[in-house]
Copies of this chain bind each other. A is one copy, B any other.
Amino acid sequence: MASLEGIISLGPWGGLGGDRWSYRASGGIAEIVLRVEGNIKSISFKDASGLVSGTFGGTGNDPNDRGKEKKIAIQWPSEHLKSISGTYGRYKGVLAITSLSFATNLTTYGPFGTAPGETFSIPIADSAVVGFHGRCGYYLDALGIFVTPADSHGSISAGQWGGPGGDPFSFRVGSWIKEIIVHEGANIKSLSFKDGNGHEYGKFGGKNANDTGEERRIEIDGLSEHLTSITGTYGDYAGMVVITSLSFKTNLATHGPFGKATGTSFSIPIEGSVVIGFHGRGGHYLDAIGIHVKPRDMEGTISIGPWGGRGGSPWSYMTNRGINQIVIHVGSNIKSISFRDTTGLDSATFGGENPKDIGERKTVLINWPSEYLTSISGTYGNFSTLLTITSLSFTTNRATYGPFGTGSGTPFSIPINNNTVVGFHGRAGHYLDAIGIFVKPQTTI
């Protein structure tokens, strides 16, 4: 059975004292042990396999500053963490976690700790917690989490931030956020987006025709650059609480800020992720905004191929969820190809740019996770004046689908074992010029 995992890091929240710590669980979190008196002295975890994490914090020698043990038993898997919130502030001169609450799908444990401080809340409603990290010494100085998407979308949501007005919106893309169109002035007037397939989302906000601001466009190629997070501010504008400024962070640059930074600032300390959608509220202006992110998990992936011609433009598609549908358009060569993963999101369509020759649609359905792609084979040869993929077959652990396409040419195949196909790459334009695969080892963990 196929198993894939991508990890996103959120936080930490708290102080910068003590030493860094990091804990990856081997199963669901089944027990949390705190020592508490005033602030949080220490924290430890036990997972469903019975492994304990060690105790983070609580290394002071003062016997009057050890706190009392508080044990939270979580009946995993019927019970699981849905959010963690708390406060951090000064305690005996140290900036540390001063209180913590743990909410599960069944109840809320806490708050533990009574010392005051800044509040924080860790959004994990649509994630599975796979570990914790932070800083520790005498006390628990800081706390963050490692999560992997647990809902059917394969993504997690952060935010939203802003005001309560306008209408709600939410969208996710299967390819990538390719273009962002911002209308800005003293606040954010509106946002709209295009994905890698050219589909448009929005406009969100922008309904005050007398105050539409100036247009700005951000282009993101999806190969070298990808969107990782947003930061901004929200506050009063014309008597409403709306988004007043917004920046878009990629792996390469920060685009913005757009608008004018006034009011309360927001940001989310997040790593290992790529933004695949947005949610929020829009009316006269952009009232509120949040992001949908999925893990960006290139680590441990091998690229094989591509085979075919040198025409067209390079393309690539990778998912951390199972690929369960492939759509190809075929004739005497392969016109185009697209993919869908178990979250239901479609990739961009690669090729198919000759509207006079789109071929016949063929669909391959894969019964993931008991069935999963392991390899491809096919032929490439001349079609008109172009060297393109002329036929293609898909191999899973259960069956081979195809060949699709009636063309002939040079055969290629990849006899490979102990692996899963997690993506595809190649070149495409009028047709599918070239194709290769991204694979990962099958692990028994």
Please report A residues at the B interface, Cβ cutoff 8 Å: 19-23, 26, 33, 42, 44, 46, 50-56, 58-59, 61, 63, 66, 69, 136, 299-307, 414-419, 436, 439-441, 443-445
Contacts and interface: CB of A to CB of B under 8 A. Distances in A.
B305 A20 contact: no
B304 A415 contact: yes
Given A52-B56, A300-B443, A302-B441, 7 more contacts: A59-B69, A63-B63, A302-B418, A304-B414, A304-B416, A414-B414, A415-B436
B53 A299 contact: no
Contacts of A63: 63, 66
Given A52-B136, A53-B21, A55-B54, A302 B415 contact: no
A299 B444 contact: yes
Given A302-B419, A443-B299, A56 B59 contact: no
B52 A418 contact: no
Contact of A21 (B21, B51, B69, B418): B51
Q: What 7 A-B pairs have minimum CB-CB distances, sorted nearest first? A: A54-B54, A303-B417, A19-B52, A55-B55, A63-B63, A300-B441, A302-B419
17 contacts: A20-B52, A21-B52, A44-B59, A55-B55, A55-B59, A61-B69, A63-B63, A63-B66, A301-B418, A302-B302, A302-B416, A302-B417, A303-B418, A304-B414, A304-B415, A304-B416, A441-B441
Contacts of A50: 19-20
A424 to B, nearest CB: 14
B416 A303 contact: yes
Contacts of A52: 19-21, 56, 136
A435 to B, nearest CB: 12
Contacts of A444: 299
Nearest to A49: B20
Nearest to A306: B415
Copies in the complex: 2
Nearest to A51: B20
A54 B56 contact: yes
A63 B306 CA distance: 66
A20 to B, nearest CB: 5
Contacts of A26: 22
Given A20-B52, A54-B21, A59-B55, A305 B415 contact: yes
A248 to B, nearest CB: 26
A444 B445 CA distance: 20
A7 to B, nearest CB: 13
A63 B59 CA distance: 13
Contact of A54 (B53, B307, B439): B53
Nearest to A445: B299
A44 to B, nearest CB: 7
B54 A33 contact: no
Contacts of A439: 302
Given A55-B55, A436-B415, A441-B441, A46 B19 contact: yes
A342 B374 CA distance: 32
A59 B33 contact: yes
Contacts of A54: 21, 23, 44, 53-56, 136
A389 to B, nearest CB: 15
Nearest to A53: B54
